[in-house]
Structure 1
């Protein structure tokens, strides 16, 4: 099996319990596009971006989604939900297969600090197998760190999926990053963003050569895309546009790049604390 179909749901969702409205959209999507294998939701979609809705896992929402997946024969990436683990809160996405089984969970490695305060960083790269290939999952701001994408690809990911909640003017920058991430890693990239009131939409899907398959507008949309795992393999083998083969070059280069990235340098320390910027004439110490 070379083909696998993924539908991103760019929805308008409020803060609070959105399980019922999301469920209706999932059922509607599967009925309208019965060939869809997987549905991807957006970051913090189930209860919105307020930490007061944080739940311990396995959560009530997960159980609800498990039954929904089994009843509709569809895989689901739940976007994410705040997870309460003891005194810590994580931004966590759950992957559920079409049998209603939890396949894996991913904790956002790079919370959007200093704005997403009080959220602890995850520590594990997550990839998982689906019929025909392998998918990697990360969340929103993780896209800004190429090390995350590269690690997923080095673990065999053919498709990178980023559930997102961006409602700020930097969304156009994320579109550029999505395209460059696909080119550098010769993979499909799905950046599925929420619509209003918390997101600005503009979800994007990019193919391994870097061409944009589809870019959404700002309103609600269903984004059904059929991907081809063999296309990923061909691009990685022959090169993007028949040219660059960066993954093989990375493999064959003798330099140990992990030793080149040193976080304990004086330069990084000189940048100051990670805080919300103030006016230039205000004290930001």
Structure 2
């Protein structure tokens, strides 16, 4: 059985919760209605940002995930029957710390995943730093990983999410600078080297410069906005493209996850005070991946003799 997901990416400027809820209901009555709907980073926590001190910013927007905002978001997901990533929120913990946290709500309104941004945009982002990689499963579809904005610049984040079995990484962004030009090829590279889908959702003017995009496991941009306009784009993600690319090769000739062979020694990684162990190099497999596309144990690929001679 094929695994397809109607994915709605909303490129919009920061707005109040009331405007957000009204706009989401309107979008879900249109041809852009999706099963998973994604908004930009800090979408509900950016109004007036440039006019507030750090203390005023956190006082206005930081609250526990199970607070009034979280309950309202869960109610909205349940009302519309959708998977909802409403961007990121300022999360206030019991010990007074504040994180930039991506949240995911299931169609029944449950908070099924939360990810605290690891690579905050220092020194401009006045929040604490997360320390855990997060993926979640969409039953009947596949596994999704979460990253936030600047995380994409650190390949270790996407690599770990892919290793944990993510077939789609949702990168939630609020980039108002010229650096968005570099983020586009960065997201393509993350998709290519990990053979996964990557959706990078940026805000619209005046709070961000847009250029939202969806990249397939072979690096092709499937859909993108042209600029900073307010836009809602829909695409269909084929999760089976991930195991197919890994089985048959990216463009038919590259198998990055199958580099290591039986008997290879671990590769020391002095930068990380660690190593790549060939025995554990392969990514986890989503429980939704169909049997014909699952690699056979021990899943070692050896290039044909002709290919070796041509190399």
How many Å apart are 1:23 and its aligned residue? Answer: 1.1
CA-to-partner distance for each residue in 1:141-164, whole Å, 9 max, x for gaps? Answer: 100100000000000000000110
Structure 2 equivalent of residue 5 of structure 1: 6
The residue number in structure 2 matching 1:164 is 173
1:102 maps to 2:103 = no
Q: State the shift of 1:68 in Å.
A: 0.9
Shift of 1:260: 4.0
- Runs of 4+, deviation exceeding 3 Å: 250-260
Distance 2:193 2:273 in 1: 22
Specify the alignment match of 2:128 in structure 1.
Answer: 120
Q: In structure 2, what is the Cα distance between the partners aligned to 1:60 and 1:173?
A: 37
Normalised by the length of structure 2, the TM-score is 0.79
Structure 1 residue 232: Cα displacement: 1.1
Residue correspondences, number = 259
Unaligned runs of 5+ in 1: 264-285
Give distance in 2, aligned partners of 1:257 and 1:58.
43
Distance 1:251 1:10 in 2: 44
The question of whether the paired residues in 1 share the 8 Å contact of 2:33 and 2:234 is answered with: no
C-alpha change, 1:106 and 1:181, in structure 2 (3 Å) is same
CA contact (8 A) 2:32 2:234 kept: no
**Of residues 86, 89, 97 in structure 2, which corresponds to 1:81?**
89
Is 1:148 paired with 2:157?
yes
**Equivalent residues of 2:27, 2:33 under 8 A apart:** no
Partner Cα separation in structure 2 for residue 155 and residue 259 of structure 1: 23
**Partner secondary structure for residue 100 of structure 1:** coil
Aligned-residue CA RMSD (Å): 1.8
User: 1:229 maps to what in 2?
Assistant: 239
**Matching of residue 246 in structure 1 with residue 266 in structure 2:** no
**Aligned equivalents of 2:116 and 2:169: distance in 1?**
15
Q: 1:181 to 1:44 in 2, by over 3 A?
A: same
Q: 1:20 aligns with which of 18, 21, 25?
A: 18
Q: Distance in 2 between matches of 1:133 and 1:229?
A: 7
- The two structures have a TM-score, normalised by structure 1, of 0.86
Distance, in Å, in 2 between the alignment partners of 1:236 and 1:171 is 29
CA separation in 2, counterparts of 1:179 and 1:136? Answer: 16
Q: Separation in 2 of the partners of 1:254 and 1:205? A: 37
Higher-Rg structure is: 2
Distance 1:174 1:257, change over 3 A: farther
| Aligned position for 2:53 | none
Matched, 1:71 2:79: yes
Give the Cα–Cα distance (whole angstroms) in 2 for the partners of residues 43 and 172 of structure 1.
17
Contact 2:13 2:43 (8 Å CA) reproduced: no
* Preserved CA contact (<8 Å) 2:6 2:236: yes
Unaligned runs of 5+ in 2: 50-56, 275-311
Instruction: Note closer, same or farther for the CA distance 1:262–1:98 as it changes in structure 2 (3 Å cut).
Output: same
- 2:279 is matched with none
Matched, 1:40 2:51: no
1:206 is displaced (CA, Å) by 0.5
Q: Which stretch has the larger CA shift, 125-134 or 246-255?
A: 246-255
| Counterparts of 1:257 and 1:225, CA distance in 2 | 41
